[in-house]
Structures are given as C-alpha cells and as structure tokens.
Chains A and B, each alone.
Chain A
Amino acid sequence: MSEHHDERLGELLAQHVQTPPAIPEFTSRLWERIEKSGKVRRGRAAPLWRRRPLLAAVVVAGIATVVLAVSLLGRTDTSVQQPVAQPILQLGGPADASAAEVVAKVRTAMATVRALRARWQWISASVDIPYDELPKGLSVDETLDRATVGALIPYYPSDVTLTDDGRSRWVTDVSRSLSASEEGGKVTLHWSEGEVAHGVPPEDIEIQNETTGEMSRYQPEMRYRDGSRTEAAEQDTGYGAGPPDQNLTALLPFGPSPSAFSALENGQVRESTYEGRPAVTIIAAVKPGPIEVTYDAEGQVREAGMYLTIDKIEFTVDAASDLPVRLASYLRGKLVEVWTLSDLHVNAEVPASDFTFKFRAGAPVERNDFGFRKTSFGGAEAKVGYVPLVPTHLPAHFRLQQVRWASRTSTYAQLPNASGSVGTHEVTSRRVTSIGYRAGFLHLTVTMRPAKGLDPDWLADPFQEDPSAAGATVEPERVTLTSGALAGDEVRIAMPPLGIPHLWVVHDGMLITVAGDATRAELLRVAGSLEPANTAK
C-alpha cells in the first residue's frame, strides 16, 4: 500500500499536542538509576526471558479487543451492577480416572468435535518481581516468594462459534465497562455504566470477527453519544497453514490447553461442577522459571526476567463433552490468569446464517494479503523449486487439510528471528511451503523455507515472536532424529507449557519447522517421519 501522511492533521497535531516539560533533574536522576543498576556489558546478549509467555491466540482474537479494553479502562467503576459470569469451582471427592486418562479424553474430544458455540472470557493479572531489590543467588522459589500479583484485568467476553472445517466467528460487545474481582477463589465479573472520565465516550461498540479458512474479516463499530461513529473494517487473505507464519484462530477459545497437557498428566483429579454441570478438574503443579538474572561487575542487576511465573494450574473439563471449559493459573495461591468457556453448546447445528458476515454498507475496508496461496504437493514443488518434506506419520485423527505456498511472505507473516538477531531486525521469508493438518479443533503445521547462510547455532527460535520485548518460549532441547529424511539431524524442540509446542532444524540449507497441538513424542515422531513429498506414501 502506498503511504499517506495527512499534512493538515499533522500540522494541527504538531501545533496543539502539548506535553509537559521534563522534570529539571530528569537526566541526573536517570544517571543515578543507571549507576545504581550497573553498566552495560559488551558481547552477545543473554536471552531475555519474560515472566509469562505471549498468548498468541489473544492477538488473533483481535488486537482491537484488547486495545479497546485498555481504552475503556478509564470508565469509573462506581456503579457496579449485576455480575454476568461467575465461574464457580466446587471441589468434590477424588474421581476414578487418572489425570492422564482425563487428558487423553480431552484430546480425543478436541480432535473429534465438529462444532461449538460458547462465550469466551479471559482475565489476567501481572506478576511483578523486584529484581533490583533481591539478593543474589536466590532460587526460583525464593524469588517468587517476593513477587506480587497485581489486580485482575478482564478482557471483554466474546460469543464464539467454531466448526471443525476452520470457520470461526466472534462477536464482542464492549458497550459497558468491565471489572473483575476475586474472593475465595471465585472470580466475578461486573458490568458498569460509569461515565468515561474524559471526552465523548463510546456508547455502543461491537466487534465482529469471522474466519472461514480462506479469509478473515473484522469489523469494529463504535458509536459515540454525539452521534459520530468510528468504523474501520478489515479483510485478511493469503494465510499460511499455521505457525510460525500465521497464528490460528480456531484454538482460541481453548486457550493454551493443548500445550498444558503434559503438565496436567501428572496432576490430581477431582470431581467438580461448572455452571451447574458435572465437571472434572485436574490440579497440577507447574515448574516455574527458568529465571535469568545477570549482574555487572559491581553486583548490580543488569538484566532480569523469568519465563513462567506460575506454580499451579487448574484445568476444568465439562463431563458431558470432555471439552475444557476453564484453565486457571496461580502463583502462591493467587490467581494470575484464567480463561473460561461458558454457555457451552457442543456439536449443535451451526446454520449457514451464522457465517454471513457482511461489511456495513459504505464502511471503509482495509484489505491485507499475507502472501500464501493454496496448492497441491506437486504444485508447491513447481512453485518453490524444491520438494517439500511431508510426514508419513500423523497423530491419531489428524488428516491433511491444506497445502499452501508463498513466493514471499508479507511483512507480518514472516519469521521474526530468522536471522538470529535481536531488536527489530527482521527477515522476510521466501519460497515458503506451509502444510496444515487438522483433527477437529487441533492443528499441526509443517513448514519449509530456504535458510542458506544461517548458522543453526545462531538461529533464534523462529517461533519466538519478539526477542527484544517478550520472550515467548523456553530453552529448546536438542534431539537427534534417527529416521526419515532428517535422520542424523539435530532438531531443537521447545514445549512451552502455555505456548505452541514446536521444533525446528536446518537441513540442506532449508529451515524446517513442525508445530502444533501435539506432545513432545508426537512432534518428534512426525519430524522423524518426514520424507520428500514425491516419495512419501
């Protein structure tokens, strides 16, 4: 797209957007803090672990949902009205099934479900660790003992409809402000009609987002009390089959559940109820960390962070459908994050009328193309100039969904870290194949792209979204494959407890990735079964 700078508006903004001056001692105070914290070391930067993984799915939900939530936080909460959702967990006696058996049931249910309607909700709080004030050499536990958990921040609930062929529809009504409170392990949401503390508040906002596999359409509408409206619709096409080029929308209602399975398998099972329905809850300890603190010569903290700042998860499964309905994360007994599905309708008929998204007449529509096109294995080979590797083994219920290729991915749909660099350096991927497999709501994606000249030892995790600001992965494990086209190759596999399980390897100048809703063993088995598409059976 060509760039447009609104000169008239820009001049007005330059003229009237005023900023208070800096405090007189701004620079001297800054130096005080720098000197207190120590000097910069030279050399390669250590990985910057962050306290929690990015929830890629939340990004997919519509950045606008989050931003709108933030923008509306200015509403005063003085007139709290009726609670609209009360996830209640009543623990009962031990259930008969083991945690591993429950997890297996959930995986099967998610792999075979055909359709779902529900209301999705996500609430989170920040975890703050005062690294600068901590003595050296503390263990992860000792560090977390000194952490504080902030207030719960609710995101607007969405009504979602999903089908196993990749269609999804989200409708979010953010016409009122929202707050959350927690007491005795019970989270309550509150709607508030309080006035926004400034300007002209939006009085009616609805966000619609629909994905049909081929395209995603998004339309927020904000109507203001002075009669004006803001609407900026968006249509995205050219998706890759899945990560790392594209996040997937379909799994969003289930949050990070699939990747939490391995932690849950060793948990304790309890019978419970959820929204009055019989349920089963697995309570599992999670190993927090790793923590990384580097010090300078004077012993001051130079860089610090932690990947996972939770120590327990509660996973609640609807007994009738075996589908997950709640995943809560805790630190020292305090709720850090929870997502819920309520008003569940499983395998209910989804009429075609549910997917009749239409842009509002006259709405300005922004159209984005991420660069991927559908093809066949043979077609992909002709277009990208190499024979794609395909798995000859797939986990139960999975089947081929689509083969896609891109001569060059768009700015967004790319490997942010393909160069192994940090900061904002980015490399556009070329001649990419992206092969998607699907089982119900579960996904698996195999991608390939030329990676000549890249030293695998310096290649950062291709799935790590933002190396400078938000590390989203864990230190990968190195495993040597013993079968298939990659036999003898050392892959790097990462199983982030609340992220996307994935592995990657550079083989014959090609970067190959396998990622999705699979266990470590399944991912390795899929990678070890890769064969050229023209010889695979």
Chain B
Amino acid sequence: MIEGGVALLDEARAARRDREEMRASAHGHRYAEVDEETLRAAVEGDRRAFETIVSVYEPRLRVLAYQILRDRFTVDDVLQDVFLRAYRGLHKFRGDAALGTWLHRITYTSCLDLIRKRRVVLVPLDAIEAAAAPQQSDEELAVKLRLQRALATLDAEHLVAVLMVDRDGYDYATVARVLRIPVGTLGSRLNAARHRLRTELAWHDEDAPGVETERTEEGR
C-alpha cells in the first residue's frame, strides 16, 4: 500500500475510535461540551475559560461553516461573529441549556444570512480538487471528489443534518433544535441527504442499515 493510503487508513481508524468514544460518552455525541465550571468562569469574565470554549467548539463550527459557505476567506469572519455574539450572550445560559447547540444554531443562521445577503454560494470545483491531498491514491481521490461534489449539491439544512448526525454523532434532538425543525423532519432530511451522498458514491440504499422509511403503495 502506498504511504498516503496508510495515512488515510490511520485517519479512518482514528475517526472510528473517536466515534466509539463518542458512543460511550454521557453526552451522546462525539465531542465534549465544556463543563459548567468553565462556562461559569467564562460568564464571570475569565478570559482563559472563554478561550477554552473557543478551542472546544471552533473546529466543529468551522467544518459546518465551511461546508455551507465554501469560502475559506469568509469562514473566519463568520466564526469571529459567532464567538463575539456568544461572548455577549453567555450570561443568558443556565445549566440546562447546551452551549454547543446554541453555537451551532448561531453558526447555521449566520451562514444562511450571509448566503442570502450575497445571493451566491461559491463552490468552485478547482478548489475542491486543489484541496485533495497529493499523496492520496487515485481511488481515494475519486471517492473524495465524488463526496465533495455530492455535498456541494446539498442545501444548508441537509448539510448540517448529515454532518452533525453522521459525521459528528450528535443526537437527533440536538440537531433538530439547531435547525428548528421537528425531529421527524430531521429524519426525513437525513434520509434525503444520505440518499444523495450514497447515490453519488454509487452505494445502494438497501445496503444501509437502519434506514427508517416506509415504502408507500399510494400512487401505484
């Protein structure tokens, strides 16, 4: 196996390990929330505590923002606004409200606002191709490009659904709150997004375990 392939395999194993840890975590998703003490300290003005919050959430919010906006030069601005708003609004949080859910919500709405204002979603294919690591095998590269193309065809709501649930392991209720849609609708969005991705990847839906859909007889 070529060197790049080994690296990719290691990456995949690490991702799997993370996901297994996520399943075991009390929070039910891949990433930890900041603890209450850190949150309280941040509310009271502890700079280091707020930087902990930024370091915990920034990477996953960056993934989300970049996948929605597809513009690396805008993502930093959006995330700066998100954390600025978070800093101003921290005092609103009580122990029973998940900071992560709120930050995802702000990120999501900020991205949509930006898209609506600019009326353009930039997804240059050359950028996708340029992002491919040079050491990747042709097959891996092809999979990656197909995946990126398929992601680029999803709207923001479907994107957030599939990234937060399948990539990051968040539970349905959390993601539904982020998107402000019923849990059932989230399931529907997920099914559609997964179907689109599987189609692009030339997977077959029947291979996917646990797809919760009914086949209706209506209209036959």
Q: Which residues of A contact B (CB under 8 A)?
A: 1-20, 22-23, 26-27, 29-31, 33-34, 37, 39-43, 45, 63-64, 67-68, 70-71, 73-74, 126, 150-151, 153, 179, 197-202, 224, 228, 230-234, 236, 302-303, 358-368, 370, 410-412, 421-426, 465-466, 468-469
A412 touches B192 (CB 8 A): no
B94 touches A70 (CB 8 A): no
- Check A126/B147 contact, CB under 8 A, given A3-B171, A9-B166: no
B218 touches A358 (CB 8 A): yes
What is the CB-to-nearest-CB distance from A35 to chain B, in angstroms, rounded to a whole number? 10
Give 15 new A-B contacts, CB below 8 A, not counting A6-B210, A14-B167. Answer: A1-B183, A1-B212, A4-B190, A4-B210, A20-B72, A40-B90, A42-B44, A63-B185, A197-B124, A200-B200, A232-B189, A232-B192, A361-B217, A412-B176, A424-B177
B84 touches A37 (CB 8 A): yes
A12 touches B94 (CB 8 A): no
Closest residue of chain A to B181 (Cβ to Cβ) is A63
Which residues of chain A come closer than 8 Å to B216, judged between CB atoms? 233, 359, 361-363, 365
Q: Once bound together, how far apart are the Cα atoms of A214 and B95, in whole Å?
A: 39
- Check A423/B94 contact, CB under 8 A, given A20-B66, A228-B199, A366-B188: yes
- Check A70/B120 contact, CB under 8 A, given A1-B187, A19-B63, A200-B149: no
What is the CB-to-nearest-CB distance from B94 to chain A, in angstroms, rounded to a whole number? 6
What is the CB-to-nearest-CB distance from A80 to chain B, in angstroms, rounded to a whole number? 14
Interface CB pairs A-B, < 8 A, 11? A1-B184, A4-B211, A7-B166, A10-B169, A19-B75, A30-B83, A30-B84, A70-B156, A198-B152, A411-B173, A412-B182
Instruction: Kindly identify, within residues 64 to 104 of chain B, every residue whose CB is under 8 Å from any CB belonging to chain A.
Output: 66-67, 70, 72, 75-76, 79-80, 83-84, 87-94, 96-98, 101-102
Which residues of chain B come closer than 8 Å to A228, judged between CB atoms? 196, 199-200
A365 touches B213 (CB 8 A): yes
B51 touches A27 (CB 8 A): yes
B97 touches A421 (CB 8 A): yes
Q: Does B123 contact A (CB under 8 A)?
A: yes
B167 touches A17 (CB 8 A): yes
B162 touches A361 (CB 8 A): no
B101 touches A73 (CB 8 A): no
- Check A40/B197 contact, CB under 8 A, given A4-B211, A359-B219, A425-B96: no
A10 touches B19 (CB 8 A): yes
Instruction: Kindly identify, within residues 46 to 75 of chain B, every residue whose CB is under 8 Å from any CB belonging to chain A.
Output: 47, 51, 54, 58-59, 62-63, 66-67, 70, 72, 75
Q: Which of B67, B112, B203 contacts A70 (CB 8 A)?
A: B112
B63 touches A17 (CB 8 A): yes
Q: Once bound together, how far apart are the Cα atoms of A202 and B150, in whole Å?
A: 12
Counting contact residues on chain B (CB < 8 A from A), the size range is: 35 or more
What is the CB-to-nearest-CB distance from B142 to chain A, in angstroms, rounded to a whole number? 11
B162 touches A424 (CB 8 A): no
Q: Does B135 contact A (CB under 8 A)?
A: no
Which residues of chain A come closer than 8 Å to B112, judged between CB atoms? 70
The 6 closest A-B pairs by CB, nearest first: A364-B213, A198-B123, A71-B155, A368-B184, A366-B188, A232-B192
Encode contact with A along B5-33: 1 for CB under 8 Å, 0 otherwise.
Answer: 00010011001101100000000000000
A40 touches B94 (CB 8 A): no
A13 touches B102 (CB 8 A): no
Closest residue of chain A to B83 (Cβ to Cβ) is A30
Closest residue of chain B to A294 (Cβ to Cβ) is B88
What is the CB-to-nearest-CB distance from B172 to chain A, in angstroms, rounded to a whole number? 5
Closest residue of chain A to B188 (Cβ to Cβ) is A366
Q: Once bound together, how far apart are the Cα atoms of A13 and B150, in whole Å?
A: 11
A9 touches B189 (CB 8 A): no
Q: Which of B43, B63, B101 contacts A40 (CB 8 A)?
A: B43
Encode contact with A along B152-163: 1 for CB under 8 Å, 0 otherwise.
Answer: 111111100011
Q: Once bound together, how far apart are the Cα atoms of A68 and B148, in whole Å?
A: 19
Which residues of chain B come closer than 8 Å to A41, judged between CB atoms? 91
